[in-house]
Amino acid sequence: MKNILVPVGSIETGINNLRYATSLAALTNARIYVTCIKTMATELILKEVLENVNTQDVQVVSKPISGDIFEGITQLSDTLKIDLIILSPQSIEIKDEIYLGNVTTKIIRETTIPLLVVPKDYLFRKFDSILFAFKNATIETKHASDTLKGFIDMFHATLHLLQVITPDTAENDRSLQPDLKALANSYRFSENATVFQGIVEHFNDINPELLCVLRRKQHNGFFRKLLRQGEVIFKKQFYTTKPLLVLKEQE
């Protein structure tokens, strides 16, 4: 992991995410790029965020963008070869029943870069245990599995696989790939109506420090279904109090 991007929507979330990114980058010698829309107001926000975070010996570069935030993030990610984007569930305070706000949801929908969604006021800590929850057992891109392996190696973490069999899971999607199986310390499956129900059923038992899910390219993927239902994701649809790693299959 060499380059991390931190989009800033507000001072509070920006400080939280930059602190988290700085701690992560210190372990990997990564460079951090902090970005926001280039206006007088947001540049002042960006300045205050940078002044309130002790970046230690980590290199932090400010990269304001003009125009559309999503196009800007895509262009920056391509130009700077971003490996990970760190962002908040909500860029600003909105209704408590909402887990992912419209900005975060759109970034998840639009980009193929791995995303780490960090809860509000969540302090950086070592991931001893990672839960990877999925419905279909195949991961079609090496990039996604390499990112997951990178987190495992970085923290010497244990990986727990949870396959949630839903009524629409095809038989040929139930077999684990050898490379995924080789990464895992444990595997269990659960039969539930949705992937989220399976996560709720097993989360406390596994007690991971990081939850990992996959945003698939096909239209019937778990996360794609949530994203199609609206511009935000409600807590009743999907929710976690731990950091959420969203891996992507390439479009």
pLDDT tens digit sequence for 44-60: 888 899 999 998 889 99
Which residue ranges does the chain devote to CATH 3.40.50.620?
Answer: 3-117, 129-248
- Architecture per CATH, domain 129-248, reads as 3-Layer(aba) Sandwich (3.40)
Q: For residue 38, what are its two tokens? A: 């280039």
CB 114 within 8 A of CB 245: yes
Among residues 244, 143, 131, 138, the alpha carbon closest in space to that of 198 is found at 131
107: CB partners within 8 A, 6+ apart? 7, 70, 73, 85, 87, 115
**What average pLDDT does the chain have?**
86
Question: Which residues make Cβ contacts (< 8 Å) with residue 23, sequence separation at least 6?
Answer: 124
**Higher pLDDT residue, 208 or 170?**
208
Judge whether residue 13 has pLDDT over 70.
yes
Confidence of residue 130 (pLDDT cuts 50, 70, 90): very high
**235 pLDDT band (50/70/90 cuts)?**
confident
Alpha helices in 29-165 (DSSP H): 40-51, 69-80, 102-110, 142-155
pLDDT higher at 18 or 232: 18
Do 55 and 27 form a contact (C-beta atoms < 8 A)?
no
Strand partners, 191: 165
- Asked if 171 contacts 142 with a C-beta cutoff of 8 angstroms, the reply is no
pLDDT given at position 11? 87
Under DSSP, the state recorded for 37 is: B
User: What is the model's pTM?
Assistant: 0.90
Query: Does residue 57 sit in helix, strand or coil?
Result: coil
State which of 12-26, 159-173, 227-241 shows the largest mean pLDDT: 12-26
- Structural class in CATH, domain 3-117: alpha beta
